[in-house]
Amino acid sequence: MAKKEVKNVTPVIHSFIKQCQFLKEEFRLVIPQSSIDCLIRFNLPVDHYYYSLFWHFDNDFLEVFYNEKFIQGIVDRYQKVYGADADLKNLQDQLDEAKFEFSLRNDSFHSNTMDFDLIDQCYAEFKASGEELMITLNFDYENLILNTELKGYVGQNYPSFNGLYKTTAGIQYKQLEDFKLLEDIIQNLLDNKEKNKNFPF
């Protein structure tokens, strides 16, 4: 009996995996694997709220969240340069702006209108010490965390809750709350849609 010829079948690569590879090469954006897996599994339309951003990514979608150790270090450096009684308003303004001006490709803060040299220097030293700031993708009032032990989780970024702000050494900075996996958030939306056909999704 003649043996059947076995053809080599080229595996089909999902379009979103290709897009993730492009984002990594073009922007050095590394999407958490758990987020990639769930977005593929749910088979969402490209214009879906939690999916479309990855197809139209820009650095403007990034938002950095500071922590107490980083803020304390940068205030210490600022006061060392400008004096212990230096007005922190300028530093506060720089930090408020810098959190939206981060480049993954250059791993630094950059602005055409503000000087972030001090922030960049402190950030480089902070990373060299083994620490990291929380880098996120901003979905309006929710942020997908790209690094730290919480990568793949979404934190709530409520616009007006005072409890989301923390103050260290005279500098105020925002924090995320109510962390949930992106998978769980989407599944909950799908469940609600199934129960209520009029539920927006």
Grade residue 136 by pLDDT with cuts at 50, 70 and 90: very high
The torsion of the CA quartet 41, 43, 48, 53, rounded to 10 degrees, works out to 60
pLDDT at 197: 66
Grade residue 160 by pLDDT with cuts at 50, 70 and 90: low
Residue 141 in tokens: 């009032």
Q: Is the pLDDT of residue 10 over 80?
A: no
Per DSSP, the residues of 73-122 read: HHHHHHHHHH-TT--SHHHHHHHHHHTT-EETTTTEE--SSS--HHHHHH
Q: Summarize the confidence of residues 135-147 as an average pLDDT.
A: 94
Three-state secondary structure call for residue 183: helix
Residue 200 in tokens: 């927006």
Burial of 109 (0-12, 13-18, 19+ CB in 10 A): buried
Q: Which residue has the tokens 């922590």?
A: 67
Residue 104 in tokens: 């993954």
Residue 90 in tokens: 């300028």
23-42 pLDDT per residue, tens = 999 999 999 999 999 999 99
DSSP code of 152?
T
pTM of this structure: 0.87
CA distance 188 to 32: 20
